[in-house]
């Protein structure tokens, strides 16, 4: 079974999620700069989630670049990932509207954690399908970013009740960590093509 429709469907869902988040930025009725002020935390949450979804799209893109065939299991692992990502508009809106209060921040972190776990499961499903000598396994290597991220999200959930800014700092740190483009897969692919 080809991977094209899976990629097209995932691109569609990610494009919609990243775009409907902006609907949480409710148009204010007044025309003054003051009317924008209460929207600032909503806007900042939007920026953070936009970057996270951009990272997921980027990594998804790279992961399926190193994938030839998809099975029923991979289709469902992918839908499972899309499910958690589809909750981003909700958690982003809730965290933004409540000015980064503890509970919404913790729930935001929880959904990030679940998405990271879903991504990990999808990665394992592809590697399992590829068997020994898996291109993807070689490409991700030790995958320390993939392993560190869920640990930091997990830490961010209880820390939100101590101080939500610590959790927000962790979210920003993980995002920056991934923003450094992940050249591992490109590198391994380029190497194999040479051989």
Span of 103-111, 115-123, 138-146, 166-174 interacting with its own copies by CB under 8 A: 103-111
Among 41, 44, 98, 148, binds its own copies (CB under 8 A): 98
**DSSP 8-state symbol, 25:** S
Binding to its own copies (CB under 8 A) within 40-69 occurs at: 47, 50, 54, 57-58, 61, 65
> Cα–Cα distance between 193 and 20 in angstroms, integer?
39
Distance between CA atoms of residues 130 and 138, nearest Å: 11
Q: Which is nearer to its own copies, 73 or 146 (CB)?
A: 73
Q: How many CB atoms lie within 10 A of CB 163?
A: 12
Q: Specify the DSSP element, H or E, that contains 91.
A: helix 88-97
Rank residues 151 and 163 by Cβ distance to its own copies and give the closer one: 163
Check binding of 120 to its own copies (CB under 8 A).
Answer: no
- How far apart are the C-alpha atoms of 94 and 163, rounded to whole Å? 17
Distance CA 146, CA 131 (A): 20
Binding site for its own copies (CB under 8 A): 1, 5, 7-9, 11-20, 22-25, 27-33, 36, 47, 50, 54, 57-58, 61, 65, 71-73, 75-76, 79, 82-83, 86-87, 89-90, 93-94, 97-98, 101-104, 107, 179, 181-183, 186
């Amino acid at each position: 079974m080809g991977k094209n429709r899976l990629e097209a469907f995932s691109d569609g869902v990610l494009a919609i999620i990243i775009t409907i988040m902006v609907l949480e930025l409710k148009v204010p009725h007044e025309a003054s700069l003051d009317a924008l002020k209460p929207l600032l935390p909503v806007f900042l949450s939007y920026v953070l989630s936009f970057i996270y979804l951009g990272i997921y799209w980027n990594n998804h893109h790279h992961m399926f670049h190193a994938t030839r065939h998809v099975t029923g299991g991979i289709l469902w692992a992918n839908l499972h990932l899309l499910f958690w990502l589809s909750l981003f508009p909700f958690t982003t809106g809730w965290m933004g509207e409540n000015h980064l209060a503890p509970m919404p921040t913790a729930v935001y972190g929880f959904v990030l954690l679940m998405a990271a776990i879903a991504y990990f499961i999808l990665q394992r499903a592809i590697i399992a399908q590829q068997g020994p000598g898996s291109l993807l396994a070689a490409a991700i290597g030790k995958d320390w970013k993939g392993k560190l991220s869920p640990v930091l999200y997990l830490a961010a959930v209880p820390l939100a009740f101590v101080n939500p800014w610590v959790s927000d700092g962790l979210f920003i740190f993980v995002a920056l960590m991934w923003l450094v483009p992940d050249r591992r897969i490109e590198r391994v692919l380029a190497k194999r093509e040479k051989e």
